Amino acid sequence: MGNTNSINPPPPRPPPTPTAEAEPESSEVSNFTCEICIEPMLSNKKFTNKGLCIHPFCIDCVTKYIQVKVEDDLIAAVKCPGLSCDHFLDPLSCRPILAPKLFDKWCDVLCDSAILGFQRCYCPNRDCSALVVNECQGIVRRSVCPNCKRLFCFHCQLPWHAGYRCEESGEMRDRNDIAFGVLAERISGCDALNAIIVLISLKVAPLSNAGVEPISATSVEGR
Q: Which domains does the chain have, with CATH numbers?
A: 29-114 (3.30.40.10), 119-159 (no CATH), 170-222 (no CATH)
Query: Is a pLDDT exceeding 60 seen at residue 217?
Result: no
- Which range, 50-54, 136-140, 183-187, is most confident? 50-54
pTM value surpassing 0.85: no
Let me know: does 60 contact 52? Beta carbons within 8 Å: no
Beta bridge partners of 152: 143, 159
- Which range, 141-145, 163-167, 173-177, is most confident? 141-145
Pairwise CA distance, residues 43 & 26, whole Å: 12
Pairwise CA distance, residues 79 & 87, whole Å: 6
Q: Which has the higher per-residue pLDDT, 2 or 53?
A: 53
Place 186 in a pLDDT band, splitting at 50, 70 and 90: low
Could you read off the pLDDT of 23-63 as tens digits, one per residue?
444 444 558 999 999 999 998 999 988 888 989 999 999 99
DSSP state of 120: E
